[in-house]
Amino acid sequence: MTENEISYLVRGAIFKIYNNLGPGLFESVYESALFYELTKVDLYLQKQVEVTIAYEEITLEPAI
């Protein structure tokens, strides 16, 4: 699957969620709904992956 095809699926899921739930909910609600919608179309994904960031001469602690 190309990046454009993946992007199309993600954008479609976002619009579907917004149309069903509307604005004003916590980010975690939209995250859970998006995770659900994207797993329905067989996309492999992970939530809240830790990322280590190099900043100047230090390495920042991974955070989620």
Measured CA to CA in angstroms, residue 22 lies from 30, 36, 42, 47, 51 at distances of 10, 17, 25, 22, 30
pLDDT digits over 27-47, tens only? Answer: 999 999 999 999 999 999 999
pTM score of the predicted model: 0.79
Domain locations along the chain: 3-63
Q: What is the pLDDT of residue 14?
A: 98
Cβ-contact 20, 12 below 8 angstroms: no
Q: Is the pLDDT of residue 62 over 90?
A: no
SS3 25: coil
Instruction: Report which of residues 35 and 53 the model is more confident about.
Output: 35
pLDDT bucket at 50, cuts 50 / 70 / 90: confident
> How many DSSP H helices and E strands does the chain contain?
2, 2
